């Protein structure tokens, strides 16, 4: 394949000669600790690539997939050869031209493939709209700079067509693939050999039924496999999680993002090897704007999963920015996240934004151009699964369906730092002190290093549970009367790790004393309106955790005031919506909090204030359930792992009704909007959980039957 002359200013070569020509200031390449100072990013440069012919029009499409990888000093890609109408392996040469190796990955020109370079093999899972899903395996021949197909490949792992397919490999070497077909999520995996695959199955978790065009993606992280899927039928992104050591039919499910019009069939997953925090990153697109939501509504959202299974989110682009088909890239050298996306919807320019890896906050606005070409409407950006760094640079590939041509862009990420192979000294003087039935405090003496210590990693019972820069840490949320063993190691900027410290052991006390106390709760209701104002509960003090819940008729988007974090949203068809948020009270807490609705609706809600809650990680567990018309309002079970958690039952119904608390729970009160045509009632109850427990479902009772929603929220003691 031969490309046309490059576009824009002269560009440094990538691939094997990358290290010889970068001139940016040297940067360290830490896996942990604070981000180093960043040199100014050079501008990305676009290059016109080869034609892909008329056999396909969007060969780089399929949002969960990755069609590029970096190996042996070069970038490689899956490209459609117009002469043969086959998908081949191509190498990006230092002159910015793609060289077709002639290695066939798939002989179906409309297929889209997901490439995984792992453990010395290139794996490619490929699919077509109505045909078999195949997996191919190749070895790399460095002398010839080509790939060799393994015997007995490709193998067919499923038939009948699919919306997408992605592939990854867990810590045991087992391969996993996921795809969607027939409005369901499907998973399969290797069994006795790389060519033997299990019969595809639906993850054994609730609600794997989805819309026909929803997508799924698979990713390996922290000794687990995760399958994330969009569920436009339920307005949510959900993830099924399987531990590598567990039986293959043992999974748990998590809500990554939920809310009215908060799901669309766009997702891309990434993780960072060596990240002791075990985080998982995803970028998704919502359907904000489909119901007339304002231009400031979140359209592209970054989701981050912490090691304890909790999810946080930050807005990358709003509806007014008009982004679509987002892709996520992790830059390990500079500890940055890059999000690339098409704008506008039908193709035009690939734009991007970047944010710190450890505290992602993206700038407002349309973003900067990443890939563009005069007269071309580029679309469907794709890049690699693995993180990039100063050695690889960032390369992304797109296609133009009208000119039938590839384009790619390159971005330098700095110069690799000189090699540092000296680990820090081992932390000494580690002390473990029992504080309560759920907390053990650790402290240790600082380590030294020839360059500098950037952080410490704490392991509990052989599993890393925290990474921090301080020399002390509190382990909270533990079960009463349990014994735990701790070690600490030190890390420097080059990722060198010290030997673990001498182990220390401590046992939590057996008396489960909840540090949580309820301050008060306040309630409010409105007839048809676009706002709901709720008073701050009486007696609220700085450091208290506030939980707000609102029930509205219909499906409006609800927006909280600044400082509130959305916990979950549950939608019961077109009848009603329930949203719940939390925040930590400040020294200047306002007297009231006003929540905005995107359309005028009947609304009722409450704010409850609690002292003694872990302000850094207040939510121990949460779950929600929508129920058909009934007087029974059921909230699904949650599981806590510590004594002294406080359980809140939040119950709403689409009627003017009196709601009675479930057995064993204390009634805090309720609000009712009964002045207009459509009515809604909101109720809050709570209960102290004296020990770690699985609560079982809780059922409140309404005086009138209506469609309803129940939620259970467990607060974590400090």
Tens-place pLDDT, residues 386-439: 999 999 999 999 999 999 999 999 999 987 656 678 999 999 999 999 877 778
**Angle, alpha carbons 166-237-294 (nearest 5°):** 125
**What are residue 424's phi and psi, to 5 degrees?**
-65, 165
Considering the domain architecture, whether residues 501 and 521 belong to the same structural domain is answered as: no
Residue at 420 is within a domain: no
* 568 has a pLDDT exceeding 70: yes
* 203 has a pLDDT exceeding 90: yes
Residue at 29 is within a domain: no
* 26 has a pLDDT exceeding 50: no
In CATH, what number is assigned to the domain containing residue 483? 2.60.40.10
Domain termination residue (choose one: 472, 507, 542): 507
Residue at 226 is within a domain: yes
Q: Over 401-454, what HEC string results?
A: CCCCEEEEEEECCCEECCCCCCCCCCCEEEEEEECCCCCEEEEEECCCCCCCEE
Q: What is the pLDDT of residue 2?
A: 35
Domain that holds residue 535: 517-715
Q: How many residues does the chain have?
A: 718
Contact 410, 370 (CB under 8 A): no
Residue at 5 is within a domain: no
Average pLDDT, whole number, for the chain?
89
Q: What is the pLDDT of residue 606?
A: 97
Tell me the Cα Rg of the chain: 27
pLDDT digits (tens, 9 = 90+) for 624-646: 999 999 999 999 999 988 888 99
Q: What is the pLDDT of residue 15?
A: 37
Considering the domain architecture, whether residues 251 and 164 belong to the same structural domain is answered as: yes
What total of structural domains would you count in the chain?
3
In percent, the amount of the chain with pLDDT more than 70 equals 93
**What are residue 370's phi and psi, to 5 degrees?**
-110, -40
Considering the domain architecture, whether residues 466 and 561 belong to the same structural domain is answered as: no
The string of DSSP letters for 141-200 reads ETTTTEEEEPTT--EEEE-S--S-EEEEE-TTS-EEEEEEETTEEEEEEB-SSTT-BPPP
Contact 447, 500 (CB under 8 A): no
**510 pLDDT tier (thresholds 50, 70, 90):** confident
Residues 6 or more apart whose Cβ sits within 8 Å of residue 500: 426, 459, 487, 488, 489
Q: What is the pLDDT of residue 375?
A: 95
- pLDDT average, residue stretch 462-490: 86
* Calpha distance 148→146 (Å, rounded): 7
pLDDT digits (tens, 9 = 90+) for 514-547: 578 899 999 999 999 999 999 999 999 999 999 9
The string of DSSP letters for 608-650 reads EEEESB-SSS-EEEEEEEEEEEEEEEEE---B-SSTTEEEEEE
The string of DSSP letters for 461-491 reads TTEEEEEESSSEEEE-SPPTT-EEEEEEEEE
* 666 has a pLDDT exceeding 80: yes
* 11 has a pLDDT exceeding 50: no
Q: What is the pLDDT of residue 390?
A: 92
Q: What is the pLDDT of residue 642?
A: 82
Q: What is the pLDDT of residue 435?
A: 79
Considering the domain architecture, whether residues 385 and 472 belong to the same structural domain is answered as: no
Label the pairing between strands 121-127 and 112-118: antiparallel
**What are residue 32's phi and psi, to 5 degrees?**
-140, 170
- pLDDT average, residue stretch 330-359: 93
Residue whose structure tokens are 């003694």: 612
* 37 has a pLDDT exceeding 60: no
pLDDT digits (tens, 9 = 90+) for 498-507: 999 999 999 9
* 3 has a pLDDT exceeding 50: no
Q: What is the pLDDT of residue 4?
A: 36
**277 pLDDT tier (thresholds 50, 70, 90):** low
Lowest mean pLDDT among 8-12, 357-361, 401-405: 8-12
Considering the domain architecture, whether residues 478 and 525 belong to the same structural domain is answered as: no
Considering the domain architecture, whether residues 503 and 524 belong to the same structural domain is answered as: no
Rounding to the nearest 10 degrees, give the CA dihedral for residues 115, 117, 123, 124.
Answer: 10
Considering the domain architecture, whether residues 47 and 174 belong to the same structural domain is answered as: yes
The Cβ of residue 72 has, within 10 Å, a number of other Cβ atoms equal to: 11
Residue whose structure tokens are 């293959």: 248
Helix-strand-coil split of the chain, %, nearest 5 = 0, 55, 45
CA 328 centroid distance within chain? 10
Considering the domain architecture, whether residues 539 and 612 belong to the same structural domain is answered as: yes
Residue at 10 is within a domain: no
**19 pLDDT tier (thresholds 50, 70, 90):** very low
Q: What is the pLDDT of residue 14?
A: 39
Domain termination residue (choose one: 480, 507, 534): 507
**Angle, alpha carbons 473-478-484 (nearest 5°):** 75
- pLDDT average, residue stretch 50-56: 96
* Calpha distance 553→620 (Å, rounded): 29
In CATH, what number is assigned to the domain containing residue 122? 2.120.10.70
* 159 has a pLDDT exceeding 50: yes
Residue at 93 is within a domain: yes
Considering the domain architecture, whether residues 344 and 285 belong to the same structural domain is answered as: yes
**35 pLDDT tier (thresholds 50, 70, 90):** very low
If you average pLDDT over each of 39-53, 498-512, 568-582, which comes out highest? 568-582
Instruction: State both tokens at 272.
Output: 């960072």
Q: What is the pLDDT of residue 514?
A: 55
Label the pairing between strands 619-635 and 68-71: unpaired
Residues 6 or more apart whose Cβ sits within 8 Å of residue 369: 44, 349, 350, 351, 352
Considering the domain architecture, whether residues 400 and 531 belong to the same structural domain is answered as: no
Q: What is the pLDDT of residue 32?
A: 32
Bridge partners (DSSP) of residue 494 are none
Residue at 27 is within a domain: no
Q: What is the pLDDT of residue 453?
A: 86
Considering the domain architecture, whether residues 280 and 214 belong to the same structural domain is answered as: yes
* 213 has a pLDDT exceeding 50: yes
* Calpha distance 68→709 (Å, rounded): 44
Q: What is the pLDDT of residue 30?
A: 31
* Calpha distance 475→461 (Å, rounded): 12
Considering the domain architecture, whether residues 71 and 162 belong to the same structural domain is answered as: yes
Instruction: State both tokens at 199.
Output: 């019969």
Bridge partners (DSSP) of residue 399 are 379, 406
- pLDDT average, residue stretch 186-194: 96
pLDDT digits (tens, 9 = 90+) for 72-111: 999 999 999 999 999 999 999 999 999 999 999 999 999 9
Tell me which residue of 517, 537, 522, 520 sits closest to 670, measured CA to CA.
Answer: 522
Domain termination residue (choose one: 366, 383, 414): 414
Residue at 8 is within a domain: no
């Amino acid at each position: 394949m031969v490309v046309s002359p490059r576009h824009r200013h002269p560009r440094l070569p990538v691939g094997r000669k990358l290290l010889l020509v970068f001139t940016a200031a040297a940067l360290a390449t830490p896996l942990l600790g604070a981000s180093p100072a960043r040199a100014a990013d050079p501008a990305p440069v676009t290059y016109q690539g080869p034609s892909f012919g008329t056999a396909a029009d969007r060969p780089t499409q399929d949002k969960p997939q990755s069609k590029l990888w970096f190996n042996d000093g070069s970038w490689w890609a899956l490209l459609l050869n117009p002469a043969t109408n086959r998908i081949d392996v191509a190498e990006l040469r230092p002159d910015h031209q793609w060289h077709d190796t002639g290695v066939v990955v798939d002989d179906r020109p409309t297929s889209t493939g997901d490439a995984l370079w792992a453990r010395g093999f290139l794996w490619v899972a490929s699919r077509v709209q109505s045909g078999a899903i195949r997996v191919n395996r190749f070895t790399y021949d460095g002398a010839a700079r080509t790939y060799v197909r393994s015997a007995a490949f490709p193998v067919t792992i499923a038939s009948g067509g699919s919306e997408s397919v992605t592939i990854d490999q867990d810590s045991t070497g087992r391969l996993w693939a996921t795809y969607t077909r027939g409005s369901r999520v499907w998973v399969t995996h290797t069994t006795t050999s790389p060519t033997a695959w299990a019969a595809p199955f639906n993850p054994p978790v609730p609600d794997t039924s989805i819309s026909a065009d929803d997508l799924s993606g698979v990713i390996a992280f922290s000794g687990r496999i995760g399958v994330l899927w969009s569920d436009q039928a339920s307005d949510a992104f959900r993830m099924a999680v399987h531990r590598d050591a567990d039986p293959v039919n043992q999974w748990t499910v998590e809500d990554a993002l939920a809310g009215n019009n908060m799901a669309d069939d766009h997702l891309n997953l990434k993780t960072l090897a060596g990240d002791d925090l075990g985080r998982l990153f995803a970028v998704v697109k919502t359907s904000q704007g489909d119901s007339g939501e304002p231009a400031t509504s979140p359209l592209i959202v970054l989701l981050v999963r912490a090691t304890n299974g909790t999810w946080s989110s930050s807005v990358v682009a709003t509806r007014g920015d008009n982004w679509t088909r987002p892709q996520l890239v992790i830059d390990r050298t500079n500890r940055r996240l890059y999000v690339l996306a098409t704008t506008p919807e039908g193709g035009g320019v690939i734009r991007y934004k970047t944010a710190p890896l450890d505290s992602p906050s993206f700038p407002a606005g349309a973003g900067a151009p990443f890939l563009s070409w005069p007269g071309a409407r580029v679309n469907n950006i794709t890049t690699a699964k693995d993180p990039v760094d100063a050695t690889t640079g960032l390369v992304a590939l797109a296609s133009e369906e009208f000119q039938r041509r590839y384009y790619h862009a390159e971005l330098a990420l700095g110069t690799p730092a000189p090699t540092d192979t000296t680990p820090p000294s081992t932390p000494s003087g580690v002390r473990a002190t029992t504080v309560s039935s759920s907390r053990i405090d650790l402290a240790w003496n600082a380590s030294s290093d020839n360059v500098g210590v950037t952080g410490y990693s704490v392991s509990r019972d052989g599993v890393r549970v925290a990474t921090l820069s301080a020399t002390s840490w509190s382990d909270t949320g533990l079960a009463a009367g349990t014994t735990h063993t701790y070690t600490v190691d030190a890390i420097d900027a080059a990722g060198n790790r010290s030997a673990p410290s001498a182990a220390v052991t401590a046992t939590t006390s057996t008396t489960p004393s909840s540090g949580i106390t309820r301050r008060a709760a306040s309630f409010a209701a409105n007839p048809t309106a676009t706002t709901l104002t709720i008073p701050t509960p009486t007696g609220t003090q700085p450091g208290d955790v506030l939980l707000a819940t609102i029930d509205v008729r219909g499906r409006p988007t609800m927006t909280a005031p600044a400082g509130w974090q959305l916990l979950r949203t549950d939608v019961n068809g077109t009848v009603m919506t329930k949203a719940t948020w939390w925040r930590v009270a400040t020294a200047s807490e306002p007297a009231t909090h006003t929540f905005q609705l995107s359309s005028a609706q009947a609304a009722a809600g409450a704010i409850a204030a609690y002292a003694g809650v872990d302000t850094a990680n207040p939510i121990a567990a949460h779950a929600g359930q929508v129920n058909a018309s009934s007087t029974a309002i059921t909230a699904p079970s949650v599981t806590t792992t510590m004594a002294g958690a406080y359980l809140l039952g939040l119950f709403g119904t689409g009627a003017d009704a009196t709601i009675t608390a479930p057995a064993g729970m204390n009634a805090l009160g309720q609000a009712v909007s009964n002045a207009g045509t459509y009515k809604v009632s909101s109720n809050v109850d709570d209960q102290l959980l004296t020990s770690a427990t699985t609560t079982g479902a809780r059922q409140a009772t309404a005086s009138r039957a209506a469609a309803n929603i129940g939620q259970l929220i467990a607060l974590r003691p400090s």
